[in-house]
Amino acid sequence: MAKPSREVIPPDRWAAVGQVSKALTLPEESRVHLDQVPLKDVPSWLGIDRALAGWGAWCRSGGAEELLVVDAGTVLSLTRVTASGCFGGGLLCAGLRLQLQAMGERTAALPVLGAQAIAIDQSPTFPRDTASAMTQGVIQSLLGLIHGATRQVQGTLWLCGGDAPLLLSGLLARGVAVHHTPDLVMESLVDLVS
């Protein structure tokens, strides 16, 4: 669980996946790059958010077990980290809002749901209204993917990201042991640079 020295990464650092808005004036020399995250065996194409979350969860777990990190954001990413702190592969799929957006924009009869329509869905398994049916269908598909992946990984599930609260109760109901750490990526960046 080696942390980089303060001399290597000063505390005024930032990281981002993808392009950064030109409205932000962030000095490029302060950007944290993937090769500065101490998760081992990381491929060059991995998003720094996944590397930070994987490394952060591994450090918090004590580094003694394999684990699965689920970041429930625009894309639902599942990242396996080995007990020795190595990137162990993963899965990616469209997240909740992206799936709902695709259904609403790419079909003739389904609505585009606004953020207010997406809430922790306590509706029946088979809702009678369209918006609940869409939301519940996507939530159940994401839960199924995560639950299936937990059967392949022998360690704990770490859940973070904006849509994590929408998935937490469903995972617990399926008997999945979950460390819900909503800000895992940001907390891991802070750990790395301090």
Contacts of 28 (CB under 8 A, 6+ apart): none
Selecting among 12, 35, 41, 49, the annotated active-site residue is 49
Whether 191 is catalytic:
no
Q: What angle do CA 51, 57, 59 make, to 5 degrees?
A: 100
Annotated catalytic residues are 49
